[in-house]
Amino acid sequence: MAREQEREFDVFDAPPVRKRRFRAVPVRVILPNLVTLLALCMGLTAIRFAIEGQFEIAVIAVIIAAVLDGLDGRIARALRGATRFGAELDSLADFVDFGVAPALILYFWGLHEIKSLGWFAALVFAIAAALRLARFNVMAEEPDRPAWRDNFFTGMPAPAGAIVGLLPLYLSLSIFEAPRGRFMVWLYIAYVLVIALLMASRIPHFSGKKIGRVPRDYVIVVLFGVVAGLLLLATFPMEMLIFFAAAYLATIPFAIRRFKAYEAADAERQTSPPTPASHA
């Protein structure tokens, strides 16, 4: 009896257990992730409008997702809010925005006319985007990566692959009104497979990550060019997207040439014997 009373006394007189409080997360960490989630919403919205047959709106949603994808990383670096969670969320959002969404848009738009092969091209495009993103995450952690490699991407970036891969759709919605016959669908499927190959390949592409400062003498010219480009994009969206896609594809040979020049200079620097120090 005494032991039972002691147990009751111990239970009621025990100090209260403190509840764990969640650690506060600063706004500078939350803000980039919110931008990433907005980009993900735009990718999912693009899929919805593609199912409904409103392909122009679907394309615009993918473009907005690409713009937001470029902003979230810059915001994270500017606010010093980059986290491992944010990097993983960004990769998942990029797969939906630039892998799944463009593949489904192209399939619902015209690739479905050659059923199995069109779906195969859409699958290959989405898989290539996933492989490209996975390789980017792995290569970002390489410790002995030369500094000059930051000027290049290995393989076509997923956002660029999405924008360039939708080129057949731009052509059909533009003033050019590209035909939609069965033979043309075969060409479009071949084009989509080539873009998927560029994403999954190790072909270098210009990065553009270090573009952030403009010489003072060219500020007015750059501002005028940006405003003119935005006005043209708002007025002739599909025609400007055709121009941007063609211009990006045209830079690939120059990127390969520049990459090989850096590689040759790096190899020569490693094989050349060190110069002996001159004695006074």
Taking only the tens place, the pLDDT of each residue in 183-230 is 889 999 999 999 999 999 999 998 876 565 667 777 788 788 888 888
240 inside domain: yes
pTM of the model as a whole: 0.83
92 inside domain: no
81 inside domain: no
> In which domain, by residue range, is 171 found?
97-263
Share of the chain above pLDDT 70, in %: 84
12 inside domain: no
pLDDT-derived band at 176, boundaries 50, 70, 90? confident
Residues 69-124: pLDDT tens digits?
A: 988 888 888 887 778 888 889 999 999 999 999 999 999 998 998 878 999 999 99
Which residue bears the tokens 């084009």? Answer: 191
Chain CA centroid to CA 279, Å: 53
165 inside domain: yes
Q: Is the pLDDT of residue 41 over 50?
A: yes
56 inside domain: no
The residue-averaged pLDDT of 247-252 equals: 94
4 inside domain: no
135 inside domain: yes
Burial (CB count <10 Å: 0-12, 13-18, 19+), residue 146: exposed
Report how many domains make up the chain: 1
Higher pLDDT, 200 or 15: 200
